[in-house]
Amino acid sequence: MLNSILIALDCSPDSDSVLKALDSLRISAKTKSVLCHIFPPDNEDLPDPDRPHRFASERYKQAKKQLESYQKQIPNSEIEIIGGEPVEEILRLANIYQTDLIILGTRGLKGVERILQDSVSGQVVAEAPCSVLVVHPDQEQKRVG
């Protein structure tokens, strides 16, 4: 049984594919799901640390709104919106929540393009402390881990 799942979403249209993959899993009502979105460290969309209740951009508000709509579909879930390097933050959250599974999408890069553009999903698979489900944008699912 899965006790905790980390679902990394970039709030693009491909995020729907990730949630569809979640639907295909048999998840107990007791399974805790963490929906996360990570803004790169140099992104101006993060909350202003000097004014924690005022957010820096409309994109942050949109990401939060989208995650909240996903949260309504997933029982026993919570939201994490943070800034940092995506791979590091996904792995950090997986350790904090002691997740049994990480679910994330991929941009579908192949070959040299994947190497040159640093595949977040590839790095997460290589370094994750648990199993990883990588969902391709064409909704073909590949279980890794």
Span 18-76, pLDDT tens digits: 888 888 887 888 999 999 999 877 655 555 555 444 445 777 888 899 999 999 989 89
CA distance 67 to 35: 7
CA distance 112 to 116: 6
Quickly name the fold that domain 4-144 has: Rossmann fold (3.40.50)
Q: SS3 helix, strand, coil % of the chain, rounded to 5?
A: 35, 25, 40
pTM of the model as a whole: 0.79
